[in-house]
Amino acid sequence: MKILHTYPFIDKVGPALKINDLPKTKYGKWVENWEKQFWADENIIVNSLGFKIYHSNLDTTFALYKPRRDIRHTYNALRVADIYTALHLPWYIDEVDKETEQYLETSNHSSTFSKLYNSDFKPNYPI
């Protein structure tokens, strides 16, 4: 909560996402290439509590929001690293079972994983 108050231009704060151990698949490489821009040294801030934080948009990821914000949209946000770095588990999926496949094919594609599964990446499954 302190980070939300320290940076008034920020609407929400969430965990950083680990990318240094992603699978070496087409999808894993795509995610790593996209996410590494946020981990660049020039984007990292060390706050007064000693945590590394970086600016990034957040969509539906777990986060703390400023009061009265519409949580359905991507906001100007910060991610907190160090002990708050999280694994984004869909990035580590190496095989899609039938139930997950059916869900991904019929969902509203609000998640990046669902959008990519139904795009050029699908022929590469199981990844």
- The string of pLDDT tens digits covering residues 87-98 is 988 888 777 788
**Do 101 and 39 share a structural domain?**
no
Q: Which residue(s) pair with 52 in the sheet?
A: 46
Whether residues 104 and 80 share a domain: the answer is no
Give the domain extent around 73.
Answer: 2-91
Cβ 75 vs Cβ 67: under 8 Å: no
Q: What local confidence, expressed as pLDDT, does residue 126 receive?
A: 43
Whether 78 has a pLDDT exceeding 70, the answer reads: yes
50 and 10 in one domain?
A: yes
Does residue 67 share a domain with residue 17?
Answer: yes
CA 127 – CA 92 distance, rounded (Å): 9
52 shares its domain with 32: yes
Q: 102 and 49, same structural domain?
A: no
103 and 51 fall within a common domain: no
73 plus 106 within the same structural domain: no
- 80 close to 63: Cβ distance less than 8 angstroms: no
Residue 18 has pLDDT above 90, yes or no: yes
Is residue 121 predicted with pLDDT exceeding 80?
A: no
Token representation of residue 17 = 């996402």
Residue 33 and residue 8 share a domain = yes
Say whether both 19 and 75 belong to one domain: yes
Residues 26 and 77 in one domain: yes
Look at the pTM and tell me if it is higher than 0.85. no
18 plus 77 within the same structural domain: yes
Q: Using an 8 Å Cβ cutoff, are 75 and 58 in contact?
A: yes
Q: Say how many domains are in the chain.
A: 2
